Amino acid sequence: MLLCTNVQSKSNTELVDNSGLSVLHYACIGQHMSCVQLLLNNDASVLLKDKVALHTALLVLFPVLTIIVCY
């Protein structure tokens, strides 16, 4: 379960794990749209890339957004 309750500054939104995944990446991977919106409203960087596939968080979310828009 992802909790987006500690978004107090941009520095909190840019923390990454050993794989380079940010909080925004995890919110997108889990399709937690309310968390994605909260993070974006608090200036989470959409440019951070993971270390494995070099994906940005929104690229991870793109297939989900495509499905939502198409239906």
- Domain membership of residue 52 (yes or no) is yes
For tokens 């309750």, what's the residue?
Answer: 5
Q: Does the residue 32 lie in any domain?
A: yes
pLDDT of amino acid 70: 45
pLDDT at position 9 is 52
Q: What is the CATH number of the domain that holds 31?
A: 1.25.40
More confident residue, 65 or 32: 32
Note down the domain range covering 46. 15-70
Q: What is the dihedral of CA 63, 67, 68, 71, to 10 degrees?
A: 170
Say if CB 34 and CB 4 are below 8 A apart.
Answer: yes
**Distance in angstroms (rounded) separating the CA atoms of residues 69 and 25:** 20
Residue at 6 is within a domain: no
pLDDT band for 67, please (50, 70, 90 cuts). very low
Check residue 33 and give its pLDDT. Answer: 87
**Residue pLDDT, tens place only, 6-60:** 555 555 778 889 988 888 889 888 888 888 888 888 888 888 888 887 878 877 7
The tally of domains found in the chain comes to 1
